[in-house]
Amino acid sequence: MNLTQEKLNDHLLLQVVGRLDTTQSDSFEKQIMEILDQGHEKIILDCKGLNYISSSGLRIFLIMQKKMMGAGGQFKICGLQPSIKEIFDMSGFTMIFSIYQDVDEALKA
């Protein structure tokens, strides 16, 4: 798993690439918490390079959503691969996240 970040207009764009399994989730959570502590108002998480997620990764997505909502911010997810989207659907996550096709669509929303 690799996480990169860059400023894109008024958003912070995060890109996660690789596998988000239980062996990776601690490192991912630590990086995400540091980013959330910086107080960004609008975050896009681009998942087009994410090819595997388990419940330990989903857990961190939910924490992000709760923290961003609690702070009055916007958290947008985009680029979900069909297999990952299926896991989101199963978990009821499709309804609780703002999910977009790609970064451009997420930026405009």
Partner 1 sequence: MQKIRLRLVNKIGELEKIHDALESLSDEWGLPPQLCMSINLGLEEAFTNIVNYAYRDDAQHIIEIDIALEGTRIVIEITDDGQPYDPTKADDPDIDLPAADRPVGGLGIFLIRKIMDAVQYKRTGNKNQLILTKTINQ
Q: Give the amino acid at 60.
A: I
DSSP 97: S
Minimum distance from CB of 82 to partner 1 (Å)?
Answer: 9
Residues numbered 13 to 32 that lie near partner 1 (CB under 8 A) are 19, 21-23
Rounded Cα–Cα distance for residues 23 and 15 (Å): 19
Indicate the residue among 12 and 96 with the shorter CB distance to partner 1.
Answer: 96
Residue 65 · residue 73 · CB < 8 Å: no
Interacting residue with partner 1 among 8, 17, 52, 74 (CB under 8 A): 52
Indicate the residue among 7 and 70 with the shorter CB distance to partner 1.
Answer: 70
